[in-house]
Structures are given as C-alpha cells and as structure tokens.
Amino acid sequence: MTQHFIVIGNPIAHSKSPEIHTLFAAQVGIDISYQRQYCSDEAASFTAVIEAFFHGGGVGANVTVPFKQIAYDCCVTRGGLSEHAKVAGAVNTLLLNKERIKNGASVAEAIYGDNTDGQGLVNHIKRLGWPLNDVRVALIGAGGAARGVILPLIEAGIAELTIANRTLSKAEGLVAELSAASATINQHAVYTCATADLSGEFDIIINATSSGLSGESLPLADALNCQYAYDMMYGRELPFLQHFAARGAQTSDGYGMLIGQAALSFERWTGQTIDVAQATATLENSSA
C-alpha cells in the first residue's frame, strides 16, 4: 500500500525533498508518494492543510520556511513535541501521536512535532570525519537555523560553543531563552559576541546565516581561524567557505545536512533506517 508524505512551504517548487525521500523509499523497498504542498503564509491555512492531509490518511509531513514556528505552535496544543523541537522552538517533521489516538484523541488532536535539523547537521559532520568531542565551536547566526542545532551540538560532546550574531542582543536573548528551556544547555559553556568581534582559533566554525544565498560576505575578523568550516546553505558558491578554504580549512556546505535531516524524518515515519552515505552518493551522482 502506498504511504503518503508531503513537504509544506512557501515557496516550495525548489524543494529537493521529493527526490530525496523517493530515493530513500527505493533503498528500503517501500512504496511512497511524496509531494510538494504550497501553502499561503497564514497559520489558519497551514493548520487546515495539515489537518486535511492527516485526515486523508497521510503518514508524515516535512515543514520548511516559513512554517516551522507555526508548526511548533500547532503541536504545543495537540500531539506534543520532541525534546529537540521544544528547545528549538521549531518543527520540521510532523507525524501522528499513535498513543493519543489509541486513547481516543482525534487525528487533529494528535499531530506531533519533531525537529531533525540539528541531528542531521551533527550526523553529517561525523560522516565527514570531523571531530566533535571536546572541541571549540563557533556558530554564526541567531535565527531559526541556529537555534535548531545548538542542543544537538552540545549533546555531541563539544567543549564550548560561541554564538556570534551581527546584533549581539539577539544572540544573548537566544542563549537566555534556550538555557531556560534546557538544563543541558544551561549547564554548558556557551558564550556570545558580535560577529565582527569573533576572533581566535576554533576547531569548527558553522555559518547558520543565509548570507550565502545573496553572496553577501560576513564581517569576519582577520584574526579568526578554524580547522573546519561548515555552511548550512548549499547549491552555490559560498563566500564563507571560500574565505576559510583560502586559510587552509577543510570545508563543507549543508547538502549532507539536508539529506541527514531527511533520513531522520523518514525513520520517524516508517521505522526504516537509511544508509545515508549511499543515498548521498547516489544523489550527488544524479546531479553531476
């Protein structure tokens, strides 16, 4: 029997999720239909779409911009949230809480939210062979992309985390908010600074801003260096990676993170574990 999935966003035509999840399904031998779902930018429209999808027998949905916060708000009062979604304040994966349905809840009252973005990043860094245990990490950006990866990075065993943002108060506010939401973050060494003031030697520097989409250069200090540089954007030349590659760092864009977070969503929905390395090689060869 065909299992049905969607990815909800606005815009959505560019999404690679159908290609990725169709490959996953072929790898584990199950039949799926995975479609892009456009939605207008109102919470009521988003809620109507996901309720109709799950009422119609849908198994799982991915959520992309601008709906991750709306999805979070929806799940708070319905089927619940994973720990990663609670701390991130954002949801990228929706499924039904079967326990709530067994206990008499309606489908609309059992929509559960998870966030696999940060775990996808950590898993990709591990596949790259970069160290995470006891390392110094700098994370540039304090928006939605950044907040989803902070807890998974700390859980991976990093020694300390510095969050840098153009507006320092936003980074400080993010740390205060997440520290209140998670004892793990509250008890860890987490620092903040303005992006232009970020300097010194780090093991890994991660760009969680969208600067690469516009080709914009970040205000990076000349005294800032790292062994490994990671940009969460993908699909184009990224000035952030070019900057650190010229300084001898190993670099990676975020395409592997995209595949990694998708694999975790797929596993939540189907119980099937994906060979991410094999899937990545297949996708890279098909787009070459």
Pick the closest to residue 257 from 283, 230, 286, 217 (CA basis): 230
Exposed/middle/buried for residue 121 (C-beta within 10 Å: 0-12, 13-18, 19+): buried
The 8-class DSSP code of residue 40 comes to -
Give the SS3 label for residue 165: strand
16 is catalytic: no
Distance CA 174, CA 184 (A): 15
Distance CA 267, CA 18 (A): 15
Q: Vertex 220, ends 219 and 222: CA angle to 5°? A: 130
Per the structure block, which two tokens stand in for 208? 């969680």
Give the SS3 label for residue 164: strand
User: 250 has which bridge partners?
Assistant: 228
Catalytic residue among 68, 86, 98, 170: 68
C-beta separation of 151 from 88 below 8 A: yes
Which value, in Å, is the radius of gyration of the alpha carbons in the chain?
19
Q: Vertex 204, ends 199 and 205: CA angle to 5°? A: 55
Residue 5: enclosing H or E segment and its boundaries?
strand 3-9
Distance CA 31, CA 21 (A): 11
Catalytic positions, please? 68
